[in-house]
Chains A and B, each alone.
Chain A
Amino acid sequence: MSVDFAVDRQAWRHLADAQVNVELDTGDMILNLGPQHPATHGTLRLVVRLDGERVVSADPVIGYMHRGYEKLTEFRTYPQVTTLINRIDWLSSFANEVPFMHGAELLMGIEAPPRAQYIRNILTELSRIATFLLFLGEMGLQVGALTPPFYGFRDREHVLNLIEAATGGRFHPNFNRIGGLKDDLPWGWVNECRNTMKVVFDACNTLEELVAENEIFQGRTRSIGIIPQEVGAGYGVSGSNLRASGVDWDLRRDGKPYLVYPDLDFKVWTHPDGDSYSRYWVRLQETREAARMVVQMLDRIPSGPIMAKVPRIIKVPEGEVWVETENPLGQMAYYVISKGATGPFRVKIRSASFSNVSILPWLLRGVYVPDVITILGSLYFILGDIDR
């Protein structure tokens, strides 16, 4: 099957020249919110065409952080790939490993023991808390408040210390193995975790009082960047962004069952408005919900082994599998093709932020420049997730 693409060489040149349209403009100003900018969480470039302070058109230019993950995975074994994919969404690294391991285990036809599933789930929810605490803080920074990000970082340290005590790495745990986990928890971890969840609840209350209830913050975020349900779903927006538009869809409850979510009792938070404030609010509630889930799981964690019986040299049998999970940033999915070797043949990574960012040209028409920053902050994408 061959598809004939007429390569428009002019178009490629224009992207590099930051010319959004070739026709002569009539006095609009082209502003390059360039790869280096404090507001674009990383190396995202937004070529914005302004009429005074209103945006006429906006084009995101991505790829400044492309590291060639899918090519790298073709030449590495499963444990090596696990190490690499930690770094896709680096703020919630554990959550990146889970769907990949789940896919490999599905292909092999083995299941991790219950204790391993519980610990995996606890660490996933901990990484969700970690990344959302950062978001709650730095969303305040995007709209101009200087103190919330410090509170976010300060309280996130407790969660990172927990993850480090269990796995050895604060940001890149690299803890999942095919069939279970690398190690069991150290002594006293469960109590530490309970105490930390209290800290997390306090942090959520503090940030709510400092940011969410602030009238100036509400004035900056309400009715800004409204994503209607159909448009959002059409562009592939997922996760908290879509739930903030009123769509009641959460892969932990509605997708194929994975980890121990079927046994857990949790609420899926939605908000009818679909503006930046509701995205903030939904993530705030989800942080609290994640802390509640962790406490539930800590109460129910079973004893037992943490690794299923797997051969020493793991060769995953031939097959293809598509696994999608509810990552903190949205829906993340892996399509793993295996040809029976010690490493995958091809891994396709569907990352959440790539689709979340695709709505930007539609969303940013006609807003003010400060609102561009607010919207970028509220969509919460990570460049490593967009560019992989």
Chain B
Amino acid sequence: MYDVIIIGGGVSGAASARELSRYKVKACVIEKEEDVCCGTSKANSAIAHAGYDAEPGSLMAKLNVRGNEMMEQLSKDLDFPFKRNGSLVVCLNEKDMPSLQELYKKGLANGVKGLRILTKEEVKEMEPNIVDNMYAALYAPSAGIVCPFNLNIALAENANANGIEFKFNTEVLDIKKIDEGFELYTNNGVIKTKYVVNAAGVYADKFHNMVSENKIHITARKGEYCLLDKSAGEHVSSTIFTLPNEFGKGVLVAPTVHGNLLVGPTADDIENKEGTNTTREGLDKVISQSALNVNNIPMRQVITSFAGLRAHEDGHEFIIGEVSDAKGFIDCAGIESPGLTSCPAIGEMVANILKEKLGLEENPDFVGTRKGILNPNTLSKEERIALIKEKPEYGNIICRCEMITEGEIIDAIRRPIGAKSLDGVKRRTRAGMGRCQAGFCSPRTMEILSRELGVSMFEITKSGGNSKIVVGTNKDTL
């Protein structure tokens, strides 16, 4: 019998697990995919929003601002890339100024620090590539950019190091209320637990509705993006937003924390909760709308495109707390943007609820820091030579585009909650994330995975399940 089962290994689940690991608790994260960070958390704008969008007084507003504040220290404690690059909401003409003013006032009410409305001249000085026919912009210096993969992975690793279990490839099929708590029926058997944290992203309504008569409804709202080569990464330095509309914050143009340029997302409500396909219309929209605010985006430098699904709850608010008619079932639902930004605060809130309910004691062995995968590019030449001398695998480049060594890939595989697939290696090390999109390194990374995991090349997958890379040997069917 577990004290707590957290359904979902995205940022909400992982942050909840990590905060919960501050206490003595028997808890486990269960995830239907083969790794953490496989849903909404892996395909988003990678932004730490300042917090001026959400309605004053809403939970979304509170957790956004709190999460943004926590992110910097968390990035140091857990060693993941984060940078406060600031954001600009661009107002193209004078008649839209009331909307910009409104945003400014909301930001003040939400407690966002350093907000200013900049004149056209000030904006152009800051961002020369912003379009000339603009009027003003709302500047938020506290906005940032973050590596969503390493944020998620760092939270999970740290939770695991502090005693939280993780079960992968485990899909919850049904939930039954029992006297002591809940029985979770999964493809890997029945799991009993006193408390459930429902951090299931676009599926959170499904699990909520299994235990509650007060139904909620979550729509998968698709966002499509294009990612550009690092040669385009300095096209803008801050995150450039358009004035928000009913479907969200519009198409943004932002540098990534790794030096690429990201444009997107669209916002289209879809039926299929697995519908992470990009579409011609969507990508065309990304291209045309990104040009509204920023000049000459070098779209020929696109290296990949992708789509993510926002978990949009009908009320457009985070639903975090015990379900009124299902004692012991803690929702963490409707976590759409600014969910990534808010996740440190979401985790804190969920853990506090559980601490109260379960009467948890502090975990005296809790270690709140974690070392990420060593990036040799951050070392001095002397340090790097010493490292290769000790561990020659750090002298062997596997991914030429991102200059990732065999040493980093081995580290990604061997560490707790390690990589098991090409995508797992990619999210942890960036091997395969560069301009050739794994054309060169994937056979080599497969060999390393095969060797390290002790499985044959036929078992190596792109992303778990049936995503096998090779299906047989030459002439085996002849």
Partners in one complex: no
